[in-house]
Amino acid sequence: MRARLAAALGALLVTGCDSAPKASEPSLPPPRIISGPVSVAAACTGPSPSARPAEPSVAAAPGDPRQLVASWLENPTGTVVAVSHDGGGTWSRSPLPGLLTCAGGPYARTSDPWVSIGQDGVTYVASLGTRPAASNATAHDIVVSVSRDHGVGWEAPVVVETASAPPTQPDKEAILADPRHPATAYLVWVDYRVTAGVDPSVNQVMFTRTSDAGRTWSTPAAIYSGNDEAQQNQLLMTAGGVLLDVFVEGPALPSAPHPPPLPVKIRLIRSTDQGKTWSAPVDAARFTFTNAVDPG
């Protein structure tokens, strides 16, 4: 479902861009490939169902765009980080330490990396870690890794939430370092209500924050729960310091090849006190979506 919602959001954004007046664009250099070989423990080099890089995220240090940190998923290596100190001219790559079991960590796999850099230079990478499956459930952790030297070294990941599916499946976290307050960052994700053998379609948006540069995090709390699936949460902060969580909300599509179009909303909630309280949701856009079917 999250992939379908992401595709729907992408279609809306493309449509909106196509209908807008064309503005002159600055000349940009060609894209640079930053993925590639990574030195990993021998136990982490086995076969993988997908060895292609996926789920990339990149951030620049506020006030110093030469300092860049990117992160992505690259099986079987897991979460990879790449660091540039010259504005993207050169990059160094390494696996994010302390995560996979093959490298001494607790997780069979990781996914959904998201990176953000604070005004104090602290770099945060949030990940979803999946522990080896047990007989009756699979445990998942929302974890945050922190670097205090522009990505040169990384501290042991801090577990923000632990949940087992069933009954709870966390997914798709996003992190934001506060651009106005040092040592402060915010993290959102969704928790699905899982029943064995049933594809989950309802979730709640969870939130936590740190005020000591990632050493500790507040107790996770639900900040939104509707009757449908809220996904692809992204945290933003306005110039005036208002914290926003923007997400897509809609029902799960049935598995039939030609389901009727279903309504989807782009929604946002606001916090004026650094995430302590949140507004009711505001609808930014509404549209319909359905499965794409190859007519051939």
Question: In the chain, which stretches have pLDDT less than 70?
Answer: 1-23, 46-51, 197-201, 253-257, 293-296
| Residue 100 backbone phi and psi in degrees, to 5 | -80, 145
What is the rounded distance in angstroms from the CA atom of residue 51 to the CA atom of residue 74?
6
pLDDT of residue 110: 94
CA distances in angstroms from 86 to 26, 69, 110, 190, 264, listed in the order given: 21, 11, 29, 35, 41
pLDDT of residue 63: 86
Domains with residue ranges and CATH for the chain: 2-16+51-289 (2.120.10.10)
Please enumerate in sequence order all residues whose Cβ is within 8 A of that of 45, keeping only pairs 6 or more positions apart, or say none.
Answer: 76
Q: Per the confidence metrics, is the pTM higher than 0.85?
A: yes
